[in-house]
Amino acid sequence: MMSLFIQLFIKNKDDVSNPSVKKAYATLSSAVGILLNLSLCTAKIVIGLLSHSIAISADGFNNLSDAGTNLVSLLGFKIAKYGGGSTHPFGHGRIEWIMGIFASIAVLLMGIKLAGTSVNAITNPQEPIFSAAAVIVLVLSILVKVYMYYYNKQFGKITDSETLKATAADCISDSIATTAVLVSTIVSHFTHFEIDGYCGVLVSVFIIFAGVKSLWEVLGCIMGRAADTDTKDTILQMVKSHPEIVAVHNLMLHDYGFGYFVVSMRVAGYKKDSEQLYTSVNQIAYELYQKFHCDYFIQIDYLLEDEALTHDLTEQIHSAMKKYSEEIKIDNFRLIESGSFINVAFNMVYPAELQKREEEICKDIADRLESENPRFHTIIKGIIRRERFSLHR
Q: Would you say residue 390 lies in a domain?
A: no
Q: Would you say residue 113 lies in a domain?
A: yes
Q: How high is the pLDDT of residue 389? A: 41
CATH of the domain at 334: 3.30.70.1350
The segments of the chain whose pLDDT lies below 70 read 17, 19, 80-81, 83, 125-130, 162-163, 196, 258-259, 386-393
Same domain flag for 12 and 33:
yes
Residue 300: name the closest of 323, 326, 273 by CA: 273
Dihedral, CA atoms, 337, 335, 393, 296, nearest 10 degrees?
-30
Give the end of a domain, one of 300, 315, 349: 300
Q: How high is the pLDDT of residue 245? A: 95
Q: How high is the pLDDT of residue 386? A: 65
Q: How high is the pLDDT of residue 30? A: 85
Three-class secondary structure of residue 249 per DSSP: strand
Q: How high is the pLDDT of residue 246? A: 93
Q: How many domains does the chain have?
A: 3
How many whole angstroms separate alpha carbon 247 and alpha carbon 244?
9
Alpha-helix residue ranges (DSSP H) falling in the chain = 2-9, 19-51, 54-80, 95-123, 132-159, 162-191, 196-223, 229-240, 274-292, 307-322, 358-372
Q: How high is the pLDDT of residue 1? A: 72
Alpha-carbon separation of residue 277 from 234, 243, 251, 319, 332 (angstroms):
19, 9, 17, 36, 20
Q: How high is the pLDDT of residue 343? A: 95
| Containing structural domain, residue 326 | 307-385
Half-sphere exposure of 128 (CA within 13 A, CB side): 36
